[in-house]
Chains A and B, each alone.
Chain A
Amino acid sequence: MRIPSRLSHSFVNSTNPSRIIHNTRFLKAYSTHPPQARLNKKIDYASTAILCHSKSSALQNPEFSPGIQNGTTKRMNLFQSINDALSLALSIDETTLVFGEDVGFGGVFRCTGGLAELYGSERVFNTPLCEQGIIGFAIGAAAEGMKAVAEIQFADYVYPAFDQLVNEAAKWRYRDGDHGRGLGGLTVRMPCGAVGHGALYHSQSPESLFTHIPGLRVIMPRSPIQAKGLLLSAIQSPDPCIFMEPKALYRAAVEDVPVGAYTLPLSVAEIVKPGEDLTLISYGNPMYTCSAALEAAERDLGISIELIDLRTVYPWDKETVLKSVRKTGRCVVVHESMINAGIGAEVAASIQEDKETFLKMEAPVSRVAGWSIHMPLVYEKFNVPDVARVYDAIKKSIEY
C-alpha cells in the first residue's frame, strides 16, 4: 500500500536484533537508550513480567475455561496469535469473512498469512484501496448476517472510513429500534501505535476518537494471549468492535499462548499486579513501560503498586478502576496517544466525579501520555511515554 507496505517490513523487523546490529546509524537514529540510563533501558520482552514465559503461567488465567486451562500452549508472537484467532474464527463459523488491502497474500504485517489458502479467496480477500469502501462493505455484509472482519492497514488511515464507523456502524442498532438488526458481525482491525520511525502516518493511536462514539466497542490488547482471546470475543460480540493492534508488538511480544479457541471478556479490566499504594492504569504497548517503571519505583520507594490493564477502552471497566483507586488513593494513567481528551482524561474525570473515590484521594490523578503534537519522526522517543516519565509521575504522586 503506498508507502506503508514497503515500510512495514522494516517496522516489524526493527525489533529483530540481528537485523539492527550491522547498521549502527539505524541504531543511533531510532532506538536504544543512553549508555548510562537506569530507567530508560530497552524493554526486555523476553523477561518482562507481563508476558507469560511458561506454559503453566499462561494457563493459570481463571478467565479460561477448564478445557483451555488443562490444554497445551504454543509460543507465538502477536501477529501469529492474531493469525491463529482469525484462523479459528474462520474455521468455527463459515459466515466469517476476512478482508482489506493486501490481506490476500498474508497482509503487510503477516497477520492473515496462509488464511486465503486455507479458507479460500472467497472468504479471505483483497479489496480495492478505499477505506470508506472497505468499512461500508463490511457493514453491509454484517447487516446481512456475516461476520465481517475488516482490516484497515494502519490506524492512521481509518479516517476516510470515519463516517461509516461513526454514523453508520455505531448507530445501526439504535436507529433500527424494534426491528432489532444490529451489527455484531462487524470487527475492524487496525495496527496502531508508535514503532520507532513511523512518523506522522504510521504511528497514530486514534482510540479516543472512537471512545467518544456510543455504539462501538474499542479494544486494544497488550500481548499475544490477550490479542487472541479479545479478538475472538470481538468477532463474537453482538456489538461492532474496533480492534487496535499495537504494531510494535507484532514480533516483539512473544509468549506461551493457549492452543484452541478461547475468549477474554470485553469491557472488563485486568488487575495485572495487585498493590496497595498507587494504581497505575494503561493498555496496549505502554503496559511494558509501566511494568518496568513499576519495578523500579517499588524498589526505590519501597511501595507497592497496583497495575491495571483496561483492555477495552470503551465501554470501559470503571468499577475495577474506582475500586482500586479507593484502596490506593493515588492514580497514574499512561497512554501513548496524545494527552488532550485522551483515555486518561476520562479516567481522571471519572475518579474525581465519584464521591466515594474523591474522598479517598491522597494526590491528584496524573496522566503520562503523548504530548499534544503530531508524531514527529526523529523525536518519537521524547513523545512516547517512557519509563523515566512514568517513574517520575509515580514518584511525584507518592511524594505529594
Chain B
Amino acid sequence: MNSQRIGGCLLRVSRRGMKSASVMRSRPNGGWTGRCHSTMGPSQKPGAAGVRFPGAVDSKFTSSLSFEHPSAYTAIPTYRAMSPEGEILDPSVVLPSDDAALEMYLNMIGVSIMDVIMVEAQRQGRLSFYMPSQGEEGTCVGTAAALEKDDVIFSQYREAGVFMQRGYTLEDFMNQLFANRKDKGRGRSMPVHYGSKELNIHTISSPLATQIPHAAGAAYALKMQRLSNPSLPPRVVACYFGEGAASEGDFHGALNIAATRSCPVIFICRNNGYAISTPTLEQYRGDGIASRGTGYGIDTIRVDGNDIWAVLEVTKRARELALKDGGRPVLIEAMSYRISHHSTSDDSFAYRARIEVEDWKRRDNPITRLRKYLEKRGVWDEAKEIEARTNIKKGVLKALSEAEKEKKPPIKAMFEDVYEEMTPELRCQMEDLRRVMEEYPAEYDVGEFEGGSASLR
C-alpha cells in the first residue's frame, strides 16, 4: 500500500462529510479508517523538522528556495566488466566456462550472419521484411544467458539474440520469416514477429511498448502462483524495449504499476541511439532511460551493451534482486549503437553519416570484444573463426531454402483463432470466400497454400 493513495483516502473522507461516513460504516470492522491512520503514523510534533505530507513522507523542509536541475546530478555511470581489448576490468565478475562463452559467441555471430543473409534475401524480394540487430547481439545474448529457462520473456523485435541463446533454431526463424505452414504463428504476422511457448517467450507484436505493462502483469502472476504454491521455482519476467519505445505511455504505466505491486520483473532497455531516424537528443532530455528508474522507486543500472560479461553479470544480479523480499522490478539500460538500418524499409544513411556507422563497427563491437577475450583465453583463433562462420552460413542458407520451399498454411487459418472457437459469423464468411474463389478460379492463386480453397470447407 503506498502513501499517495492513503492520502487520497483521507482527503476524500473530509470532503465528503456525512456521505462518506455512511460508506465507512458499511464496511466490516471499519478497516478503512484504521488502515489510513496506521500507515500515516501519528501527526507530527510542533517544530518537527521532518514532514509527513502523505505524498512524500521522507522529505525535509528547507528555507532555501532552489529548483532541482538535472545538471546538478552526474550522469549514471556505465558499468563495464571487460575492456574493448577483451581484458577483465572487474575482478569480481563471475565468468562462465569457456564452453558457455563459446556458445554465446557462436550465437552472436549466428545472429549477425543470419542478419546479413536475410537482409540480402529481402533485397532480392524473397521475403517481405526483415529487421537486423547488428551491434546489439551482446545485449541480447548476454541477458538471455543470465535468465533461467522458466523465466518469461517479452520482447520488442530486435532481440533475435535472445531467441537464439534460448534455443530458437534456424528452422524456427526461417519458418516464421517465410510464413510457411511450419510457422507456429500460422502465417499471420510480419517477419521477425517470433514467439515460442516452449521457450517461454510471448509472441512479438508491432505496437511499441505495449509489452512493458504485460511484463509487469505476468511478473505479478508468477509471484502470486509461487505464493500459493511455494514448491514452484522462483521465476522472473524479462522485458525488452528500445529507448524510443520508452517514450510511450505504456512504459510509464508499466514501471509505475510494477513498482507499486512489487513485481519480479527485469526491464531491459536497449539504448542504441536511434528510433528509426530520431536520435536520442530528440527522444528525451534527461539522463537516458536509467535516470527515470529511480523516480519510480526502481533499482536501476546502466551497462555497456557491447560488453557481454558486464551484461551477463548485471542481469544475473538483477534477477536475484527482482526475487528478493517477495519481488521487485529492476531496470537495466544497456548502451549500444544500432549499426544496421532500422529495418529493410529504411536507409539510415538518409539521417546519419556513413562514417559514424563504420566507426562504431570498427571501434567497438560486442562480437569483436568477446572474440578478443576468447583468443586471449586461447580457445579461439582465425581458423576456428573461418570454420564456424562457414558452417553457420551453410546452416542458414539450408534452413532458408527449405523454409522457402514449404507451402503456406491452409487459407482456413486466416479465420481461425480469432476466438477459441470459430463463430457462426466467421463460418459464413469463410463459406462466402470459398464460394467466390471457386466461382472465379482464375482470379485467385491458391496453389501455394496447403489444401487450396478446399481448406475453407
- Residues of A whose CB lies within 8 Å of any CB of B are 5-6, 9, 13, 94-95, 97, 104-106, 110, 113-114, 117, 121-123, 125-128, 130, 132-146, 148, 160, 163-164, 167-168, 171-182, 184, 214-215, 217, 238-239, 267, 315, 318-319
Asked if A144 and B257 make an inter-chain contact with CB atoms under 8 angstroms apart, the answer reads: no
Question: Contact check: which of B184, B261, B420 meets A178 at CB < 8 Å?
Answer: B184
Asked if B424 and A318 make an inter-chain contact with CB atoms under 8 angstroms apart, the answer reads: yes
Asked if B220 and A105 make an inter-chain contact with CB atoms under 8 angstroms apart, the answer reads: no
Asked if B257 and A130 make an inter-chain contact with CB atoms under 8 angstroms apart, the answer reads: yes
User: Known: A6-B12, A163-B210. Contact between A136 and B205, CB under 8 A?
Assistant: no
Asked if B203 and A145 make an inter-chain contact with CB atoms under 8 angstroms apart, the answer reads: no
Interface presence of B116 (CB below 8 A):
no
Interface presence of B348 (CB below 8 A):
no
- Bound together, the chains give a CA A54 to CA B192 distance in angstroms of 59
Question: Contact check: which of A105, A128, A136, A319 meets B217 at CB < 8 Å?
Answer: A136
Chain A residues with CB under 8 A of B261: 125, 127, 137
Chain B residues with CB under 8 A of A171: 205
User: Using a CB-CB cutoff of 8 Å, which residues 1-16 of chain B contact chain A?
Assistant: 1, 5, 9, 12, 15-16
User: Known: A140-B218, A173-B418, A238-B420. Contact between A133 and B250, CB under 8 A?
Assistant: yes
User: Known: A127-B257, A177-B183. Contact between A315 and B419, CB under 8 A?
Assistant: yes
Segment of B20-28, B123-131, B309-317 engaged in the interface with chain A: B20-28
Asked if B218 and A144 make an inter-chain contact with CB atoms under 8 angstroms apart, the answer reads: yes
User: Known: A145-B225, A181-B197. Contact between A136 and B214, CB under 8 A?
Assistant: yes
Chain A residues with CB under 8 A of B184: 177-179
A167 CB, nearest partner CB in chain B, Å:
5
Asked if A174 and B27 make an inter-chain contact with CB atoms under 8 angstroms apart, the answer reads: no
A208 CB, nearest partner CB in chain B, Å:
16
User: Known: A130-B256, A140-B218, A174-B418. Contact between A117 and B224, CB under 8 A?
Assistant: no
Task: Please name the 10 residue pairs, one residue from A and one from B, whose CB atoms are nearest each other, closest first.
Answer: A136-B213, A133-B253, A140-B217, A140-B214, A144-B221, A177-B186, A137-B217, A238-B420, A141-B217, A140-B218
Interface presence of B301 (CB below 8 A):
no
Q: Across the two chains, which residue of chain A brings its CB closest to B260?
A: A128
- Bound together, the chains give a CA A144 to CA B264 distance in angstroms of 14
Chain A residues with CB under 8 A of B217: 136-144, 148
Interchain pairs with CB closer than 8 A, number? 195
User: Known: A267-B423, A315-B419. Contact between A175 and B250, CB under 8 A?
Assistant: no
A111 CB, nearest partner CB in chain B, Å:
13
- Bound together, the chains give a CA A175 to CA B192 distance in angstroms of 13
Question: Contact check: which of A121, A141, A238 meets B218 at CB < 8 Å?
Answer: A141
Chain B residues with CB under 8 A of A175: 185, 188-189, 193, 195, 203, 205
- Knowing that A177-B184, A178-B186, A319-B424 touch, tell me 11 more A-B residue pairs with CB under 8 angstroms: A136-B250, A137-B213, A141-B217, A143-B218, A144-B218, A144-B225, A164-B213, A174-B417, A175-B195, A176-B417, A238-B420
- Bound together, the chains give a CA A94 to CA B186 distance in angstroms of 33
Chain A residues with CB under 8 A of B420: 173, 182, 184, 238-239
A227 CB, nearest partner CB in chain B, Å:
20
A241 CB, nearest partner CB in chain B, Å:
11
Interface presence of B331 (CB below 8 A):
no
Asked if B216 and A137 make an inter-chain contact with CB atoms under 8 angstroms apart, the answer reads: yes
A114 CB, nearest partner CB in chain B, Å:
6
Interface string of B170-205 (1 = CB under 8 A from A): 000000000000011110110001011100001101
- Bound together, the chains give a CA A114 to CA B228 distance in angstroms of 21
Question: Contact check: which of A6, A132, A163 meets B16 at CB < 8 Å?
Answer: A6
Asked if B202 and A143 make an inter-chain contact with CB atoms under 8 angstroms apart, the answer reads: yes
A75 CB, nearest partner CB in chain B, Å:
17
Interface presence of B29 (CB below 8 A):
yes
A278 CB, nearest partner CB in chain B, Å:
25
- Residues of B whose CB lies within 8 Å of any CB of A are 1, 5, 9, 12, 15-16, 19-20, 23, 26-29, 31-32, 152, 154, 183-186, 188-189, 193, 195-197, 202-203, 205, 207, 210, 212-222, 224-225, 227-228, 237, 249-250, 252-254, 256-257, 260-261, 413, 417-421, 423-425
Chain A residues with CB under 8 A of B249: 130, 132, 160
- Bound together, the chains give a CA A163 to CA B197 distance in angstroms of 24
B166 CB, nearest partner CB in chain A, Å:
15
Asked if B216 and A136 make an inter-chain contact with CB atoms under 8 angstroms apart, the answer reads: yes
Asked if A239 and B256 make an inter-chain contact with CB atoms under 8 angstroms apart, the answer reads: no
Chain A residues with CB under 8 A of B197: 176, 179-181
Asked if A113 and B26 make an inter-chain contact with CB atoms under 8 angstroms apart, the answer reads: yes
Asked if B196 and A179 make an inter-chain contact with CB atoms under 8 angstroms apart, the answer reads: yes
Question: Contact check: which of A114, A148, A179, A238 meets B195 at CB < 8 Å?
Answer: A179
Chain A residues with CB under 8 A of B188: 174-175, 177
Chain A residues with CB under 8 A of B253: 128, 130, 132-134, 136-137
A194 CB, nearest partner CB in chain B, Å:
22
- Bound together, the chains give a CA A238 to CA B28 distance in angstroms of 35
Asked if A136 and B32 make an inter-chain contact with CB atoms under 8 angstroms apart, the answer reads: no
Chain B residues with CB under 8 A of A5: 12
Question: Contact check: which of A142, A217, A318 meets B425 at CB < 8 Å?
Answer: A318
Asked if B31 and A315 make an inter-chain contact with CB atoms under 8 angstroms apart, the answer reads: no
Asked if A181 and B224 make an inter-chain contact with CB atoms under 8 angstroms apart, the answer reads: no
Q: Across the two chains, which residue of chain A brings its CB closest to B186?
A: A177
- Bound together, the chains give a CA A68 to CA B256 distance in angstroms of 43
- Bound together, the chains give a CA A92 to CA B419 distance in angstroms of 24
Chain B residues with CB under 8 A of A140: 154, 213-221, 237
Q: Across the two chains, which residue of chain B brings its CB closest to A106?
A: B27
- Bound together, the chains give a CA A135 to CA B212 distance in angstroms of 11
Q: Across the two chains, which residue of chain A brings its CB closest to B29?
A: A117
B210 CB, nearest partner CB in chain A, Å:
5
- Bound together, the chains give a CA A182 to CA B202 distance in angstroms of 11
- Bound together, the chains give a CA A105 to CA B24 distance in angstroms of 9
- Can you pick out 12 interface pairs between chain A and chain B where the beta carbons lie within 8 Å of each other? A105-B9, A105-B27, A106-B27, A122-B224, A122-B227, A141-B220, A143-B221, A172-B203, A174-B417, A181-B197, A315-B425, A319-B424
Q: Across the two chains, which residue of chain B brings its CB closest to A137?
A: B217
- Bound together, the chains give a CA A184 to CA B261 distance in angstroms of 23
Q: Across the two chains, which residue of chain B brings its CB closest to A240?
A: B419
Asked if A117 and B31 make an inter-chain contact with CB atoms under 8 angstroms apart, the answer reads: yes
A238 CB, nearest partner CB in chain B, Å:
4
- Bound together, the chains give a CA A132 to CA B257 distance in angstroms of 11
- Bound together, the chains give a CA A125 to CA B260 distance in angstroms of 11
Asked if B210 and A164 make an inter-chain contact with CB atoms under 8 angstroms apart, the answer reads: yes
A246 CB, nearest partner CB in chain B, Å:
22
- Bound together, the chains give a CA A164 to CA B208 distance in angstroms of 11
Q: Across the two chains, which residue of chain B brings its CB closest to A94?
A: B228
Asked if B205 and A168 make an inter-chain contact with CB atoms under 8 angstroms apart, the answer reads: yes
Chain A residues with CB under 8 A of B222: 144
Asked if A114 and B27 make an inter-chain contact with CB atoms under 8 angstroms apart, the answer reads: yes
- Bound together, the chains give a CA A378 to CA B19 distance in angstroms of 25
- Bound together, the chains give a CA A174 to CA B193 distance in angstroms of 13
Question: Contact check: which of B16, B152, B154, B202 meets A9 at CB < 8 Å?
Answer: B16
- Bound together, the chains give a CA A91 to CA B417 distance in angstroms of 30
A345 CB, nearest partner CB in chain B, Å:
15
Q: Across the two chains, which residue of chain A brings its CB closest to B182?
A: A178
